[in-house]
Amino acid sequence: MKKLIVLLAAVLTAGCATTSFTLHPPSGGTAITGKKTFRVFEPNQIEITLDGKTYRGEWSTGAASGDMPAVSWPHKRHTGRAHAELTAEDGSRLSCHWIFHGGEGGGTCKGTGAREYKLTTQ
């Protein structure tokens, strides 16, 4: 029984991966790096520190939709859209949307005050 529990824990832990993403300020200043954690079962976690505040939230994925650029059939299985709503302790929010192919992708994050950042994921 102990071996089964250890094996199950190992499988679930192996199903988690932490990767980075980068926000590029609209003014072209220094890029900001955050981390996103993908789990076998959602919810996935995302975190970034911006302007001295740490924003945290969950991100979810959806299937690629018809308005995406043409994607060949073999790649449609690992191409899709992601969305995240992040909140800081003071209530400030970031709303992020990106398209991904495998682990890489790009999109935008809009912050409180309508500041928009270009987002890239690795």
The residue extents of the domains of the chain are 16-121
User: For residue 110, what are the CA distances in angstroms to 1, 4, 29, 40, 61?
Assistant: 49, 45, 16, 27, 18
pTM of the model: 0.70
Q: What is the pLDDT along the chain (122 residues), one digit of tens a residue?
A: 666 554 444 444 445 567 778 888 888 777 888 887 766 666 788 898 888 889 999 888 776 555 555 554 455 455 778 888 999 999 999 999 888 776 678 889 998 777 888 888 87
- What's the CATH architecture for 16-121? Beta Barrel (2.40)
| Burial of 24 (C-beta count, 10 Å sphere; 0-12/13-18/19+) | middle
Backbone φ/ψ region at 114: left (φ over 0), alpha (ψ -120 to 50), beta? left
Give pLDDT, residue 7: 47
